[in-house]
Amino acid sequence: MQNALICPLCLADNRCACAATTNRSSADKAADCWCMALEIPPTLLAQVPTAQRNRVCICATCIAAFWSNAGSEVGDA
């Protein structure tokens, strides 16, 4: 199973460098992934099944979709 490569929200390829580079040390893997440079919204993370949370990356598409939705909701901030 390569579930680490699948976005838990949309079930598409999450393009996670952490999961793709399995032959590196865990420290290097973490530093390499694009998702480490992005802020994952806690609200979005809460939608990930507990078993996969902090183990499987959410794809960039889902993160972008979350921010575009959030932007329309926090109009009075």
Options 16, 44, 48, 56; binder of Zn ion; rule CB under 5 A:
16
Using the rule CB under 5 A, is 62 a contact of Zn ion?
Answer: yes
Q: Considering only CA atoms, which of 6, 72, 7 is closest in space to residue 40?
A: 7
Using the rule CB under 5 A, is 7 a contact of Zn ion?
Answer: yes
Using the rule CB under 5 A, is 44 a contact of Zn ion?
Answer: no
Distance CA 49, CA 14 (A): 15
Q: How many CB atoms lie within 10 A of CB 52?
A: 16
Options 18, 44, 48, 56; binder of Zn ion; rule CB under 5 A:
18
In the complex, minimum distance from the CB of residue 26 to Zn ion, in angstroms, rounded to a whole number: 12
5-15 burial, b at 16+ Cβ within 10 Å, e below that, comes to bbbbbeeeebb
Residues forming contacts to Zn ion in the complex (CB under 5 A) are 7, 9-10, 16, 18, 33, 35, 57, 59, 62
